Structure 1
Amino acid sequence: MVSAKVPDFQPPAQQSQGDCLTSSSRLLSCLTAVFGLALGSAALADDNRYIIQFAPGAAGQGKAAVQAFGGEIKVDLTDRNVNVVAATLPAQAAASLQNNPNVVQIEKDSRVHLMADEVPYGIRMVQADQVLDGLAGNRTICVIDSGYYTGHNDLQTENVTATPDSGSGDPFIDPCGHGTHVAGTIAALANGSGVLGVLPSGNINLHIVKTFGNDNWSGGSCAYSYSSSILAAGYACADAGADVINMSLGGGSFSSSVAAGWQEIYDSGVLPVASAGNSGNTSLSYPASYDAVISVAAIDENMDLASFSQRNDQVELAGPGVGVLSTVPFTNANVTVDRDYLVEAMSRSASTTASGGLVDGGLCTSVGNWSGQVVLCERGQVSFSDKVNNVQSGGGVAAIVYNNEPGGFGGELQCGGNPNRPCSSIPAVSMTRADGQSLVANELGSSADVSTVQTVPASGYAFYNGTSMSAPHVAAVAALVWSYAPELTAPEIRAALAASAMDLGTPGRNNEFGYGLVQAKAALDFLELGGTEPGPDPEPEPEPNEPPVAAFSFSCDELECSFDGSASSDSDGTIESYSWTFGDGNSGSGATVSHTYADDGSYTVTLTVTDNDGDSDSISQQVSVEAIPDDEDEDDNGGGDTDMVSVGDISVSVRSRGPWRNGEASVTVIDGDGNPVSGATVTGTFSGDVNGTVTSEATGGNGVAILESDRVRQNSISFTFCVDSISASGLDYDADGNSATCASN
């Protein structure tokens, strides 16, 4: 157990709505401020729905009065301290009911909305990969949303409970997909497939309260709920033993009754978390902007504020909320070749299926002869619409556009007319670069099945944007940190998250990011160090230094060689020193040096460059020298065959991206004189944990080609890369001249 002293947490000041509770004489002015100019207007409240607070001990008479005025009670919270009901009521009746001595106040019952746009780098960003969740079984997160699909392959079915709601139906039917996406960010399983949540072990307890949608998988309504319904769900969460509540929703306006209800829930030991809002302005969204609730802003993969994230003095923390990949209860697209591939249907693609032989269309910048074939198109140069139209015009039956940089993406086809009308007659999908390159290298000519027909329910995945996506990152981190110190209170956990957040934007708390990006490991460190009071805001950390890149060329005349390292570079500074070792026990310094060897032979020459920030980089090349005997033709300079290319150096390293690992091979290509060769194409094969992955890349100006394997998800990995061939214009491949052909990490 971790015990700690944490600073008192003072949330941002709440904007006052005035005291509407003290006398009936002031009620009319308060109602006018809340509702508008006159109670008689039909637009006073959404759907003529009001929150009505009764005097202590007067709930029975008050409810009878509501019904006498033709009201229909929708939510009854008179058994709680807030002593309110939500009811639909004619506007004129609301004006009359204000004079009833049993009624304290009447407020608008505002609509609230789910906060996401269809569109999990976030796991590493919030440091969830640095903290094990083995203790999470002592915490419960309650998700107030559109439901939870228990049939998803990547979501837990153990430790999941729910509170039924007659208004929204079965909590385990999610017609909107929103609740299942939120739950995946919290707790998608580490099961070797799909995505990973902040709490991936399956130990966390989840409680589901469904307030959006219904029991119709194929067309459930997810448009809105009400402030009173969300508050009732909050009480249900507390009654179910929740420690943290996630609300990826919001809107509406301030209600003193609802504010008091959330304060009661918070004071009972529960920590509510909600989306700051997606309007991209400075307005307040509720319930996030109540003092008792943590309001969460959204940032992107570069830690920049999302354009849609609301900015105000109630924003408390930030979390990843742009392009968040998580679980959904449907599939919009699928590609099957040698296996099933994770793809996204392009927006406004035809909803259909197609099959054909797989063919490489390159960049698909022009119409090809692709009759009856499924065409692979690399992203770039022209629009997605142009690529798909070219495939369609060339007789292709489907278009697969794969990325030209790591990761996946969502694409949209453009055409005029009705925005719901498809812009193509063939299915069009997007795919990751790794999968696309793998298909080009290994599966051309194979039969491919492509579908953009939605299947519901199904175990699917989708990229969503919204503060709806940032809130569950914070809620899950709160539960993760709390599981290590369950003796702490909700305010103490809240204070620890704020004190340990990564400061973003203007130093200190600001209206865009609040106290900053939530950090799981930093919060634990803060608590384990005793939770000392934070000092003054630190100076902004400097941008990390980009290390230099070493490169050199050389030429030799018999035993005398000249070396030139001036091609070395530093993108954000200057190179301060050049250090050479010549492989024979001698060394030198300077950008250009000369060295004479004593004997014939092959020597490893290494250049190390150091920049003005003290970072360094090294590169090594093999140099062969040979003295020409006096009786040989003096025109023979003893150099190598410059018409040949071979491997000068080869190495393999491991690159990590969240839960994924891939091998990265570095191959240096040289000519017969040992000079680096640019523009040569290196083709080779990865083996080990990615057995049989073939890939090709061209060398850069320094003669080095960087080749990447497919990704794997495991901690212990082994990659081996072997060069199969090298091609270069006007040069032949000399396999016998390779310094090495294979390397392993």
Structure 2
Amino acid sequence: MSRHPASALLGLLGLTLLSACDVTFTPDMNPPDTGTTPVPTTPTTLADRTVPLAQAASATLNVPFSGTWSAVSIPAWLRLSQQAGSGNVAFTVTADRSLVTPLAADQQTLSAPLTLSWSSGTGSAARSGTVTWTVTAAQYSVTGRVTAPAQAQGNDIGTAAPPARTDTAPEARGVIVRYRATPDTLGIQGTPDTRQAQQTQQAQWQTVTRQVARTLSSAGLTGQAIRPLSSRSVAVQVSDVPAALAALRADPSVESVTPDVILRAQATAAPVTPTDQYAPLQWAYPLTGYGAVWRDMESGTYSKAVTVAVIDTGVRFDHPDLKGQLWQPGEGAMDLITSTGNGDGDGPDTDPTDPAVPGRSTGSHGTHVTGIIAARWGLNDASCAACSLTGVVGATRTANVKVLPVRVIDATGNATESDVALAIRYAAGLPVSVNGVMTRTPHAAQVINLSLGGATSAANAQEMCDAVQDATAAGSLVVAAAGNGYGTLPYYPAACPGAVAVASVTLSGGSAPVRSTFSNAYPQVQLAAPGGADPYTQGTFNGAALNGKPMPDMILSTSWDYQKNEPNYELEVGTSQASPQVAALAALLLSKGVTSDAAGTLARLNATATDLGAAGRDDQFGYGLINAAAALNAPAVSSGHGLRLQDARGRTYQPALDTLGRFQAWLGDGIYRAVAGEDLNGNGIYGETGERRDERSFTLSDTQPGVDLGDMQAR
């Protein structure tokens, strides 16, 4: 479900202090020293002061006062047991340090102002005002060291250029010939005379050497550096390898002859970086390891045909970045909207084009979702004067994957549960009734994407859930957006049994992503994928610039400008953008043959996901962030080492490592996971599935304010 624009099936004095909190009273709060016992008085005004919590989690405060008071400004990380009253200012203040711990975890002491409003007296003695009590709190500490392979600097050390990559047959400098067993070349078995055996072996070497030289000479070829390898085989360098192969294969005494190919040292492969104009803005693919996957695709093994159904608003078939990527009208594409009261419904038909309607200006949700999966690489057909000739890229690149568009969301962003249920069955290849005619698609989808949903009840969603079960039984994997409700309410159809509910994550600036604030968290969430940052927070950790300004952490894909009636590209954010990334990876697993059915594909996705937040499956991330490189056994494209640090609530921190790998992080109370590991897929997340790692769990609190993790071996 997209968060922007909208879419889918909507879609904190006194003497009673804890020992860690020592408050110093201002001079006007104490009577002068007259040498007599002071008479207790109750102040009628309040004064500014500092309230140090030190390492305590909370403190109980009781300040003498005569009047009324209220807390008018409370820092977000502080909680007061009472926010207003009359008489003494008395309450307990509790700190949640984690809420304001910075990403770098380098702030040893937290400090924030608590503002109180007060009034006292009556008539001419009436007074009022505000005071600021500055609350400070010491952070807790974790230290350790990440150890990795030794590193050094030196002016006489060079960096070798990466080896040239070639997709042609390996180069050969000669041939290897193996002769048939003959009386002249048989070894002597069981002889006690070692000298005799050596003489015999020498004779055999001479025999095969002379034989290969004669054969090559008769073909007008000259053998160089002829070297016996055994009693029956010999290597020889020749300038014309094909001619030597032909001549030697014609010799009946030759058992086999093969090129003596050149082997090379195997360094880490370079990731594939798309050259399409807007590809540098598509940060989600590197985050999930696609640089390695796209390199792996060059092997040509992603050849099995896979269809991904996108049940959505329909699509713009005329978007040049989608040409050749879609099943067309007449090939199974279908519009199943039965309602005609939305301004664009003309009943079910075979053309699921996302239409223009009065008042509509920009944004085709289904086109955006489709582009995430399958946008073309390289040059597109020219479509308008200002249009990019290359645009964006999709996850599936050259894999044998096509999208089946099925339209159920109208131009106002709405869909009915009945249409969605029908579409799920249709996409799975089951027969459905369309305009009174039994119809089924000729291209049943192995993967179905539903970037839609709503906060309906399980009872109301029963028909959709039944359809999900039918599609699953037919062999389809049903992937759905978990919802953008900022809460814990299950959204359907994602929460249906059998569906794969996908949550959204976004960049944190550290070595692990965090949950997008809008992304719903509930028990049915199985996986997470990049869906972007809340548009109201405008995170810009991706490092890219768009039109001279930092680009927000949103997902860029294909779309349509209905005002100009031409293709464009659009930034959107939501679980709608996370879901198709899971669908695309599922399709690639099937296309490469890593998995062969829906159950195996889901198991592989879960097993290779990067566990985020609390250890194990949780409601925020499910089994974790999809890891395309690990899932597809893609080659290593980097060899960095580092640390990622997260708390049980999914927040991430990135303490600095010094030149010896040591770190010290200042954190709030909580349960944490520290992972030191390598990064083989170039996504900056250390110690994922398939990468060597050292993981430690630890707890920080006022009773355990410091932890030393010691050496963590990231190798």
> Which is higher, the Rg of structure 1 or of structure 2?
2
Mark yes or no: TM-score above 0.5: no
The normalised TM-score by structure 2 is: 0.40
